[in-house]
Amino acid sequence: MICEQAPQIDIRAYGQNPPHGKLLHDGLPVALTSTACTFGGVRWWFLCPGCGRRCAIPYPRLCRLCCKGRYAVEALSPANRRVTKAIRIRTRLGQRNGGICVEFPAKPRRMRWHTYMRIRKAAQELERSIWQTVAEELGWPPPM
C-alpha cells in the first residue's frame, strides 16, 4: 500500500481540541493520547490498535508499520530516486517543467547567492552521476 494514496485521517486536522478519549472513524473507535510539548501545550496522537504505537496518521485504522505501508519514493528504484531528487532540487529553485534535460534554473529572487551556488553545485554533481549511469547502461563512451 502506498501511503499517499491510502484513505487516512490526520490528528493535526483537529488542532488543539480533538474529541477526548476516543474518536469514531468509519464507526470504529480510535483511542487518543497526548504528550506534553517543550514550550507548553500538548500534542495529540492516535493509538494504533495493532501495536499500541502513537501515530499522527492511521491508514485507515492501523499505523503505517502495521499495515505495511510504504511511501511512494520507497517503491522507486535507486536510479529513479536520484532522478526524483534532482527534479525536487530544480523545483525548489523555481523550475516548473522540463526535468533535468533543460537549462538549470536561475537564482530565485530572495535566495542568497551562496545558498544558490551550494545547491546548484550539489545538483550538478547529482545530475552528472545520473547521466554517467545512463551513458554506461547504453554503452556510450564516458563524458569528458
Mean pLDDT of 88-98: 92
Alpha helices in 16-140 (DSSP H): 78-92, 113-138
Name the average pLDDT for the chain: 84
Q: Is pLDDT of 142 > 80?
A: no
Between residues 3 and 104, the one the model is more confident about = 104
Q: pLDDT per residue over 6-63, tens digit each?
A: 667 777 776 666 666 566 666 677 788 888 989 988 888 888 888 889 988 887 777 8
Using alpha carbons only, what angle is made at residue 87 by residues 83 and 93, rounded to the nearest 5 degrees?
A: 150
Residue 88: CA count within 13 A, CB half-sphere: 8
Question: Are 65 and 51 within 8 A, CB to CB?
Answer: yes
Predicted pLDDT of residue 83: 92
Q: pLDDT grade, residue 126 (50/70/90)?
A: very high
Domain boundaries, the chain: 3-55, 76-138
Between residues 70 and 54, the one the model is more confident about = 54
Predicted pLDDT of residue 15: 65
